Amino acid sequence: MTPGPDTTAPVARPRVEGDREQEILDATLDVLSDVGYDRLTMDAVASAARASKATLYRRWSSKASLVIDALLSQKAPTELPDTGTLRGDLLGTFCGMGGLTDQRQIRVLASVITAIARDEDFASAFRRDFIGPKVALTTTIFERARDRGEVRADLDLDLIAQALPGIVLHRRFLLGELPDVAFITTVIDQIILPAAVVGQTAHTDPTTGPTNQEDLT
């Protein structure tokens, strides 16, 4: 008698990918924005995404890896703006989608602040995979400006690249004031450019320049 098929073998389940993966990542960001990293659970994400917890664990081994992928999935410009000036490149980068005026981005950053201090694995991945590329892009803006002869040759690029986001995020998270285009323009004109650009002094009227997103295009 010929034996029947082995029905005890495990059934291979498809990997989560494509649109379904993005739906889960979007749900993760929604939960993250609502409750923060500490209170986010795989169960909560599964419920928001209408998926099983097993489905999530087939793709992500931990909450930290899921959140990092969700953060990286946020839409952002694929290329740096190239306006020909340091001022224009900084405005285009920090005042666009995924920049410092993107309120969803700011809310998500706020939701992971406590996790950075408490979860070393998450903090390491967050700095490496999320913050690291952003710092690298900003450094590239200053490198291009240096190559054009626009900024001082002795400028510490690593230091100056952190100045604008540092000032803006300090104002948001410690002083509780939401950043907008006008404030970022003021920081660029009164602090960044005078410190970096050859022969540059602070603008006498910090309100000049773009005042809304349409002005940046």
pLDDT tens digits for 89-139? 999 999 877 788 888 778 888 888 878 888 888 899 899 988 888 889 999
Q: Domain check: are 105 and 141 in the same one? A: yes
Q: Domain check: are 124 and 193 in the same one? A: yes
The domain of 60 spans 18-72
Q: Domain check: are 204 and 101 in the same one? A: yes
Beta strands in the chain (DSSP E): none
Task: Tell me if 172 is assigned to some domain.
Answer: yes
- Rounded Cα–Cα distance for residues 211 and 188 (Å): 13
Q: Domain check: are 148 and 205 in the same one? A: yes
How much is the pLDDT for 190?
Answer: 96
- Rounded Cα–Cα distance for residues 178 and 103 (Å): 8
In tens, the pLDDT along 129-157 reads 888 888 899 999 999 999 999 999 999 99
Alpha carbon 173 to its chain's center? 15
Task: Tell me if 77 is assigned to some domain.
Answer: no
How much is the pLDDT for 210?
Answer: 44
- Rounded Cα–Cα distance for residues 213 and 45 (Å): 33
Q: How many domains does the chain have?
A: 2
Q: Domain check: are 100 and 183 in the same one? A: yes
* Closest by CA position to 81, among listed 206, 192, 216: 216
> CATH code at 176?
1.10.357.10
Model pTM score: 0.73
* Range 194-197 contact pairs with CB under 8 angstroms and sequence separation of 24 or more: 195/155, 195/160, 195/163, 196/86, 196/142, 196/145, 196/151, 196/152, 196/155, 196/160, 197/86, 197/145, 197/150, 197/151, 197/152
Helix axes 63-72, 42-49, angle to 10 degrees: 50
Mean pLDDT of the chain: 83
Task: Tell me if 51 is assigned to some domain.
Answer: yes
In tens, the pLDDT along 160-197 reads 999 999 999 999 888 988 889 999 999 999 999 999 99
Task: Tell me if 40 is assigned to some domain.
Answer: yes
Q: Domain check: are 157 and 126 in the same one? A: yes
How much is the pLDDT for 217?
Answer: 39
Check: CB of residue 189 under 8 Å from CB of residue 206. yes
User: What's phi and psi for 169, nearest 5 deg?
Assistant: -70, -30
> CATH code at 56?
1.10.10.60
Q: Domain check: are 191 and 113 in the same one? A: yes
